[in-house]
Structure formats: C-alpha cells, structure tokens
Amino acid sequence: MVGAYARGVEIQPLPHSSPRTAAFFDLDKTVIAKSSTLTFSKSFYHGGLINRRAVLRTAYTQFIYLVGGADHDQMERMREYLSSLCKGWNVQQVREIVAETLHDLIDPLIYDEAASLIEAHHTAGRDVVIVSTSGAEVVEPIGEMLGADRVVATRMVIGEDGCFTGEIGYYAYGPTKAEAVRELAESEGYDLARCYAYSDSVTDIPMLEAVGHPHAVNPDRALRREAVAREWPVLVFNRPVRLKQRLPGLSMPTRPALVAAAAVG
C-alpha cells in the first residue's frame, strides 16, 4: 500500500489489525527553530528569576547552538549551566511564566513541515511523542500545544519548598532517550520496527537506531554524515509558521500531553 506524503516523508497508514506505532520527535531544531528552554530567558528575566548577565549568556549559547549544533561536550556544559542557573527557582512561578508567554514565544518558531508531519502521523493512526532534553516544565506545555500524545523530558529535582534543588532527577539525553523509547514501546505496545523518529542531533543516533524509520532533520554535520552513510532520509525544515494559521485542530489540541518521563525516570 502506498502511503501519503508529508513534505517528502512517506507516511504509511496502519492496517486495522496491525500493532500500535508512534512517531518520536526531538523538539529543539527539529519541531521548533530554536532551543525551547533558552527561548524563555527574557521572560525569566522579567519574572526576576535571572539577571541581565544570564540573559546575555543564554543569548550567546543560543547563537552557538543554532550555528554549530551541540555535540556531547556542549550538551554537558549546557546541562551543568542550566541546572545551576535554575537552582532555587520556584517551580510554580516557572510554570506560570511559561504558560503566559508560550504562544507568543514558541508558536512562531514551529516548523510548518514538522506540524504537517505531526498531523499526518495522527491521521495515519500513530501516537506522537515529543522526546526532549529540555525541562518538563517547558516541554509539557509545548507538547500539549502541538497535540502530542506523550512527552519525555528532563526532570529537575524539586525540594520541599517547591523550588528546584539544582539536581537533575532524570536526564532525557542520548542513550537515555533510546531507553525511554523502548520502555514506552513495551508499555504501550508499539512495534518499533514500524515506528518513526526525527532529530537534528548526532547525540540522538541511539533514538534513531531504535526505530524502523529514522529521519535526520536539519542535521548537524556529524548526524548528516551518519544519515548519508546509513541511507537515512535527510529532511530540511525551514518554514516556521504559527499554528493558528494552520488547522484549528493543531492550535487547540483535544488530547492532553502525557508525561512519559515519569514512567521511565
């Protein structure tokens, strides 16, 4: 059976008797054009969570990330920086800031091509899972806005005072993402050989290897080399568009995003 095409990706429909499947999407530079966490830096500044120096540093980090991508060492430095930066932040305040500014900051960054793929996978009967290294307080609302069925994200430890301790309880990165995908497949009954995955980073090769239909999206140099060598499809997303300019069903999802990190972390 010939499947539908969504911006160059052949989406195979599911026979009624086939096992469940899913499409796993990295978030930053795959679904949205920037780092989701760093995008909120000015909002965190206006909320009194960080100072001007931190805003400038995050802007520089965002620039380096966008230009050169992020290898293992860069991701480790970013993890250490962000975990120390958010130590002492009130979690409820963070959630409120994200909720208040989400549509203004994130909506314009969503790639039209990614939104089309999400729509096509749902139409074909697949679950959509966002798998991101960014924090759950940021990723969960974005996943809900996109209409995702599941979310896997990094989780910071929250103290009894309701503030981040600066420690990371679950880090959704590299091999850990692949482990989350496999555990979700086991718990939800996904047939990984028929599942899809999308990412821009070489650090997500373990997640891409876990499925039968891996795709490199706006890949960094290392991932591009691997994708070409393995004959994985390479996609270019370059058209951010607001969801409200698309189908109303995408801008106002009817399904809540479920948090997979709680189950696998």
For residue 160, the domain's CATH number is: 3.40.50.1000
- CB count within 10 Å of CB 201 equals 27
- Among the listed residues 26, 107, 149, 204, the single catalytic one is 26
pLDDT at 50: 81
Task: State the Cα–Cα distance between residues 50 and 47, nearest whole angstrom.
Answer: 8
Catalytic-residue membership of 191: no
Beta-carbon contacts of 154 under 8 Å, excluding residues fewer than 6 positions away, are 132, 133, 134, 135, 136, 139, 168, 170, 171, 172, 173, 261
- Among the listed residues 28, 149, 200, 220, the single catalytic one is 28
Total of domains in the chain: 1
Domain that holds residue 52: 4-264
pLDDT tens-place string over residues 49-59: 888 777 766 65
Catalytic-residue membership of 112: no
Indicate the pTM of the whole model: 0.84
pLDDT tens-place string over residues 64-117: 444 455 556 666 776 777 778 888 999 999 999 999 999 999 999 999 999 999
pLDDT at 72: 64
Give, for 181, the enclosing helix (H) or strand (E): helix 175-188
